[in-house]
Amino acid sequence: MKRIFFVLAAFAAIATASFANHDSRKDDFGFHGALKALELSDEQKDKLKALKTAQIEALKSVKTENGENFAAVFGGATFNRAAFVSQENAKAAAHIEDRADFLAELHAILTPAQREIFAKSLERKGERVVERPKR
């Protein structure tokens, strides 16, 4: 019984320590890491936050619409393959357009030096953009 208690206590201590030191990986890689490396001004941060919020709201409406469209394609007596492919292609094209709009607005928010840093950071896919401090 003491052994089980000791093992559980050790496990709890290790789990607590690992969560306390946890840094989100997405903050150091890719798009989020590239933004973090820019050292945005408070005004830029506010504009970026508003831009992200608008994008999230737009995606929510698209997801609702896609769910209704899928029910029409799949819910009948037969599966309408051509309609499904057409819907998915339209959805992909809309996603690309939304992303292009987002990047155009982001481009307008950043200074020329920040744009250069951002572009170089995204070219380094898979590499850590922001270095974590050594422990």
93 in any annotated domain: yes
Rounded to whole angstroms, the Cα distance separating 50 from 107 reads: 14
Confidence at residue 79, expressed as pLDDT on a 0 to 100 scale: 84
97 in any annotated domain: yes
59 in any annotated domain: yes
Bridge partners, 29 (sequence order): 128
HSE of 53 in the Cβ direction (CA atoms, 13 Å)?
6
Give yes or no for residue 43 having a pLDDT over 90.
Answer: yes
CATH number at residue 111: 1.20.120
The total number of structural domains in the chain stands at 1
7 in any annotated domain: no
Q: Could you list the residue range(s) of the whole structural domain that residue 104 is in?
A: 24-123
Q: How far is CA 87 from CA 40, 67, 72, 79, 82, in A?
A: 38, 11, 11, 13, 9
89 in any annotated domain: yes
Residues 6+ apart with CB under 8 A from 108: none
Rounded to whole angstroms, the Cα distance separating 13 from 56 reads: 37
Indicate the pTM of the whole model.
0.60
14 in any annotated domain: no
Confidence at residue 6, expressed as pLDDT on a 0 to 100 scale: 61
Confidence of residue 36 (pLDDT cuts 50, 70, 90): confident
75 in any annotated domain: yes
Give yes or no for residue 131 having a pLDDT over 70.
Answer: no
9 in any annotated domain: no
